[in-house]
Chain A
Amino acid sequence: MTRAGFAVLFVAAFALLSSHSAGGQTAKKEKDGKWETADGHPTYNIAGDGTVDWYTFSGFRRYHSECHVCHGPDGEGSSYAPGLMDSLKSMSYEDFMAVVASGREVVRADKQSKMPALGDNNNVMCYIDDIYVYLKARADGVLPRGRPAKRNDKPAAAEAHEKACFGEK
């Protein structure tokens, strides 16, 4: 077997493995503890023993600080605002970013609702990919409700991003 043939086989096996653990996602890659889909969008990684990557865990925490008071626990929705684990079944990463940053308003005779523009809220925007990958994992049905039991440690890259995002030295 040539080197190239081996590589192809290896990739195929990896894709099979990751599609199994990630609920139908296509091949993804990791850089500094952060996972990306083939088309460059952030995504989650959940190991066979349930250990989640740092960003998914961070998303769980940030969601339950910033989003939960309207959207309910675990992305499940509430009597007040829609369940984001359902929204993310069809919503693209770009649309998600746009609605979070710019907000959305529905004013009808039977309904008035308003998602606020969170674009200048660092507590949200510095962790927006984290929140996205957490909700995506919920939407894909691969992460159960509640606090993830096991997680990877915080990567140095996450620490650096946080500081830069908040304008700290």
Chain B
Amino acid sequence: MHRYALAGASLAVIALATPAMGNQDVLQQTAKPEQWVLQTGDYTNQRYSKLDQINRDNVKNLKVAWTFSTGVLRGHEGAPLVVGNVMYVHTPFPNIVYALDLTQEGKILWKYEPKQDPSVIPVMCCDTVYRGLAYADGTIYHHQADTTLVALDAKTGQEKWKAVNGDPKKGETNTATVLPVKDKVIVGISGAEFGVRGHVTAYDAKTGKQAWRAYSLGPDNEILFDPDKTMSLGKPVGKDSSLKTWNGDQWKIGGGTAWGWFSYDPETNLFFYGTANPSTWNPVQRAGPDGKPIDQKWTMAIFARDVDTGVAKWAYQMTPFDEWDFDGVNEMILADIDVGGQRRKVLVHFDRNGLGYTLDRVTGELLVANKFDPKVNWTTGVVMDKNNPQYGRPQVVKEYSTFQTGQDKNTKGVCPAALGSKDQQPAAFSPRTNLFYVPTNHVCMDYEPFRVSYTAGQPYVGATLSMFPAPGSHGGMGNFIAWDAAQGKIVWSKPEKFSVWSGALATAGGVVFYGTLEGYLKAVDEKDGTELFKFKTPSGIIGNVMTYSHNGKQYVAVLSGVGGWAGIGLAAGLTNPTDGLGAVGGYAGLRDYTALGGALTVFTLP
């Protein structure tokens, strides 16, 4: 055998040992239900666990097994990871990582605390939250507030490499988790309130070298669009699909950041995520040269991109020309469900704008777009007729258009509020019921846009808003709902006093878990939402519930530690201007229920 044939043979062996599908290690690790190695549970983002020891009958007996204080006071989003015998717990800024030994009652194996410039704190709009770590191939991937991406040895906590993804002096920060996939780590960026031009970036998982970067806005070669092959609503996007939807150079400070979650489909090699609002919040300042609304692509959009190249296969803009701050970053859940009598590979997304979308994840075809809160009023709905020139676009109600009402004028009673019918707190999907379990906000707003000027690294907002519980409803600020994504219908809805700001978990035991802002961990029946168990943890919950198994015993864990947008907007309680001055302060203030403090609470059966 000569040299070339030998090379060919060894290549074939490598190809066999490393299938093209996903990161083999992540796929193997996430297939073990006793572990939780990605924030999202697995690549599908279903947040479903096959563990069934805790079930509908015995969940009422759940007891606290152990607790852990993180030593940090800020809002705690995300969840711990469990890999083998080790639990990895992250904190908000200063972004500490703890490795806890599950065989020694949570003894600290190692602690990693980066040194970061505190000047990053105030450029993180809405608290210094962090939605957590990811694990692959013996490495913990940690994306700090100051956008430093660190690869840590999972055994020792030693740094393997570091990469810097952005510049906090320009308002570029990070709050999101990362996606380890194949030989890459894919990361996003925050800062649309600071005029940051959003992007996703892939780094080499072994070295930290940048592989590609895809902006959300700008020229085709920078947003990695192929004008002939990148599709939207069944048609090629064409040349300059982003540039021609902006007035002049505004795209350069146009927002569209990517601070949400990532999902991945190994069959098509596509990963999915959404983009944030256009900057500023004042739509009048973003109007086209003719003074009319202009789309501002690809803000507020769902993207499907190839992992290897970053090139977009399809994109869909949910809220063209945003007038309300309805970021499109919420999670993209991948599932195979029957739609119209046919098995479809779908992507399901609950947007800030109050619409629940079901799309074909292979082609980007829009299948369903319906309101998942009946109070949503800014739109009459999305045009689903493919022959209509408005196909795929939401129809805006004039009364709730902050653009049509105008600059320096107050648009009243818009539902939902800027925090959306749902924010980043991820929903769960159970293949047992084929239902999606969604934590929601039930809050409306008055919104007044006005002129602002741009200064690098300074807030670039340009609107004032006041929020209040959805009028004519149960008076609470949230619901926990079950959603049929094939029909686009709410199956049941459980009212909550506050917005539900905690990620849900569905389990094979038929129990669905979520946390509340007062601090309750709640367990409900997957069928009808009946409350089966609740326990008040030390602080309000904005973290996501996870489950794992150790030595044959199932555990449920959640981070509490109130904060984030919820802690800022709801701490003092909401006021309703339409109630008149006498009733001001009549709504529940979160600060009457809970106080700061990061803590992990782990539950199990006695």
Contact = CB atoms under 8 A, between A and B. Distances in A.
A80 B568 contact: yes
A123 B123 contact: no
Nearest to A106: B118
Interface in A105-142: 105, 107, 110-116, 118, 120-124
Contact of A79 (B94, B125, B465, B571): B571
A69 interface: yes
Contacts of A111: 73
Given A80-B127, A122-B455, A123-B458, A72 B568 contact: yes
A121 B453 CA distance: 8
Nearest to B573: A76
Contacts of A70: 122, 126, 568
A67 B108 CA distance: 39
B450 A65 contact: yes
Interface stretch (A8-16, A20-28, A32-40, A143-151): A143-151
Interface string A63-81: 1111011101110111111
B575 A80 contact: no
B569 interface: yes
Contacts of B281: 65
A100 to B, nearest CB: 12
Contact of A69 (B125, B446, B452, B590): B125
A79 B568 contact: yes
Interface of B is mostly: loop
B464 interface: yes
Contacts of B568: 68-70, 72, 78-81
Contacts of B446: 147
Contacts of B121: 112-114
Interface residues of B, number: 48
B123 to A, nearest CB: 7
B563 to A, nearest CB: 5
A62 to B, nearest CB: 8
Contacts of B567: 78-80
A144 B536 CA distance: 33
Contact of B75 (A79, A103, A110): A79
Given A64-B464, A69-B126, A145-B584, A123 B453 contact: yes
Contacts of A62: 464
| Residue of A60, A64, A79, A124 with highest tally of chain B CB at under 10 A | A79
Given A60-B464, A61-B448, A147 B410 contact: yes
Contacts of B466: 64, 73, 146-147
Interface in B459-482: 459-467
Interface residues of A, number: 43
Given A65-B450, A147-B577, A80 B569 contact: no
A66 B568 CA distance: 14
Contacts of B464: 60-65, 68
Contacts of A79: 75, 127, 562-563, 567-568, 571, 590-591, 596
Contacts of B585: 145
Nearest to A121: B458
Contacts of A83: 572
B193 interface: yes
Contact of A73 (B119, B123, B572): B572
B313 interface: no
A78 B591 CA distance: 8
A72 B572 contact: yes
A73 B581 contact: no
B581 to A, nearest CB: 5
B98 interface: no
A110 B410 CA distance: 41
Of the candidates A63, A65, A121, the one having the most CB atoms from chain B within 10 angstroms of its own CB is A65
B452 A65 contact: yes
A166 B460 CA distance: 15
B129 to A, nearest CB: 10
A120 B455 contact: yes
Interface in B565-596: 567-569, 571-572, 574-575, 577, 581, 584-585, 590-591, 596
Contacts of B467: 73
A148 B455 CA distance: 29
Given A72-B568, A79-B562, A107-B118, 8 more contacts: A62-B464, A70-B126, A70-B568, A72-B572, A79-B591, A80-B127, A118-B458, A145-B584
24 contacts: A50-B581, A61-B464, A62-B464, A65-B450, A65-B462, A69-B125, A69-B193, A69-B461, A72-B568, A72-B572, A73-B572, A79-B563, A79-B590, A79-B596, A80-B74, A80-B126, A80-B563, A80-B567, A112-B121, A116-B123, A121-B455, A146-B575, A146-B584, A166-B453
Going nearest first, the 10 A-B pairs with the smallest beta carbon separation are A79-B567, A76-B572, A64-B464, A116-B122, A78-B568, A121-B458, A114-B121, A61-B464, A114-B118, A65-B461
